[in-house]
Amino acid sequence: MTAGAAGSGSADGGPRSLARPPALRPGDRVAVLSASSPANQAELAVGLDTLRFAGLEPVVYASATDEGSTRSYLAGDDKLRSSDLSAALTDPAIAGIIFATGGYGAQRTLAALDWDTLAGLPPKVLAGYSDVTAILEAFAARLGWASLHSPMVTSSGDAAHYSFGSLLRALMRPDQALITQYPGAVTLAGGVARGITLGGNLTLLASSVGTDTSLPARGGVLLVEEEHEDPYRVDRMLTQLRRSGYLDGVAGIIGGTFTGCGEPALIEDILAERLGDLAVPLVAWANVGHGGHQQAYPIGIAAELDAGARTLRLLDPPLRMGS
């Protein structure tokens, strides 16, 4: 994948995990920042309290509290967001980063980031989803880091307790997060696939193709999820991934949630029609992504997808145990 890729994958020549950050421990200081849009401040306050209840010490950066000083849809200017991200990554007192929110702007943040200052750093956990997909994919592609596609600090709603529980288990008890079951998923193509977990939000994956932060799906177990896109747009983005070569050699595909994207039967038809002839294990409606009971999904971890059983088994814990 990259020259920096590393891990402790299977000894039989199977998939090999990327460099895994250490798990978080009680008392660890974690950065809370936005690489994208302004965070809802009321939801941010609740999320920060939740992290404190879990025994972590959140450190709030300026981008997390910026309410659109540059543009209404950006948490400060590109320099602020990229500087916050770089500062958190290079500060040895910060154990990991849990993004405040998604929205839009992560790709602009990446364009402003000084990658030379990050070369050779030991990996830190990056946790988030939606627009943060661009960040997770970039750090896998450029630095060979594993990360977590997961709920964020402002995650809210009726299922927030479930989603936060999944996040905290992966962050602090990764040895207990080896098996993920998707009981509500639908098997569109059976079989078992082994590969490196990757992917995330469909819009971000498609719009990153052709950049130096795109991580093609060859040899991977790919997650695709989306929200509030018309069915034809979902079709168009999947078609873009196919035509670009991004999907060449993919090992298996997990369709996550497609909240507000049209009738579930139509989404299933689109996934089956656009992806079915790849002849790889394929499920739809795994509870990963926007809406409802979201489960954390690692990026860059050797794993086995059993589409018939609707389970994902990690061959390594998503984060390293111990110091």
Token pair for residue 193? 């696939």
Is residue 186 classed as helix, strand or coil in its secondary structure?
A: strand
Q: Which one is catalytic: 82, 130, 147, 155?
A: 130
Give the phi and the psi of residue 77 in degrees, each rounded to 5. Answer: -85, 175
CA torsion sign for 49, 52, 54, 59 is positive
Spatial separation of the C-alpha atoms in residues 305 and 4, rounded to whole Å:
25
Which position among 225, 226, 229, 304 bears the catalytic label? 225
DSSP assignment of 104-137 equals S-HHHHHHH--GGGTTTPPP-EEEE-GGGHHHHH
CA distance 135 to 132: 5
Does 290 participate in catalysis according to the annotation? yes
Q: What dihedral do alpha carbons 304, 242, 236, 292 form, nearest 10°?
A: 10
- Name residue, tokens 């299977």: 10
Annotated active-site residue 263? The verdict is no
Report the DSSP beta bridge partners of residue 33: 99
| Planar angle of CA 193, 195, 196, nearest 5 degrees | 145
Do 155 and 4 touch, CB atoms closer than 8 A?
A: no
**Catalytic residue (choose from 34, 166, 290, 304):** 290
CB 109 within 8 A of CB 76: no
Cβ neighbours of residue 169 closer than 8 Å, sequence gap 6 or more: 176, 177, 296
> Is 268 in the active site?
no
- Taking the mean position of all CA atoms in its chain, how far away is CA 77? 23
**Catalytic machinery residues:** 130, 225, 290
